Structure 1
């Protein structure tokens, strides 16, 4: 996969997300209750820890092969990959298991074999930790940044697929876009409180 992304200020982490579809999916999974940059920097850090401790890379089969305590330890090591490392390690394990079981360990099969945006939305929502909005945002990320979503993705991911708005990680192509996303989220929170 090749895309124009700026999901974290760390260029190595951004490049890793371009090269590892499962890492990108894990970043999206972790993108809740922590800053976006931290969530999308975590897969590269997890990959580094897997190499250091087990000589393995971040792939669905690698995660499934670890027992729960091993994965929790990797998530909890300082700095922790998430503010809730145990819960997110469990979600990551369930996500990996679904990909191994349903997609023969091929993460890209989730979107490459989806015949339509609606089907991709359904597939993403079936993944552990992916509700409607998260599924739509990830689909928009695939479509906007990687040109890797099937026909109809713009409509199926609405409002996140809109090309004239900067509102989610799907629009994170530069440091400036990242700031716009932060501002949009802050304005949405303020409007919700009003």
Structure 2
């Protein structure tokens, strides 16, 4: 898997994302409560702080949790909640080692459908329905991995022409559109909660 992506809007980070499925997976995991482009820059920070050219799933899984948390907290922190996200990243990597012998491509290798890829993602630590659908969409739209029914498995994130997730980011303009759409969805959810509380 080596493709050109512009998820992080930073050349070195995007180069890593283009050749490392683990970096892309970690980016989706971290894509909450931080700007989208920063979530996808974080894998490069982790790799550099581990002294490696790319993310090593076994090395992350085996790293001392305290050391890995410190690495994620170092300035600039990889996330607004670095300790919690460090645990999530390690749990994810441990699951990949245990279930797929450390091969992230095992998430889609041999899958007969997009639904099967979705189910494999959903079984990973830190991946609920939304993140699983986003990653299926990311695989299909940006990485060319398109098992039968992948758009259906990705739900709304698999649709053409939407600007809702990392799967739709191809440059600065689409990134801005995704950020605006996500902000509007959050505002709508807040209004809905407020209206429900007022009843």
Q: Normalising by structure 1, what TM-score?
A: 0.94
Q: CA-to-partner distance for each residue in 1:37-69, whole Å, 9 max, x for gaps?
A: 111000001101100xxx674211011121111
- Post-superposition shift, 1:4? 4.3
Q: Is the 8 A contact 2:4 2:15 kept in 1?
A: no
Q: Quick check: 1:103 aligned with 2:86?
A: no
Are the structure 2 counterparts of residues 113 and 70 from structure 1 closer, same or farther at C-alpha, using a change threshold of 3 Å?
Answer: farther
Matches within 5 A, 1:6-155: 6-51=6-51, 57-155=54-152
Figure out how many residues of one structure are paired with residues of the other and give that number.
191
Q: Is the 8 A contact 2:16 2:54 kept in 1?
A: no
Q: Quick check: 1:169 aligned with 2:157?
A: no
Consecutive unaligned residues in structure 2, runs of 5 or more? 192-199
Q: Is the 8 A contact 1:94 1:128 kept in 2?
A: yes
Q: Is the 8 A contact 2:27 2:39 kept in 1?
A: yes
Consecutive unaligned residues in structure 1, runs of 5 or more? none
Q: Normalising by structure 2, what TM-score?
A: 0.91
What is the rounded CA distance, in whole Å, between the counterparts of 1:31 and 1:6 in structure 2? 15
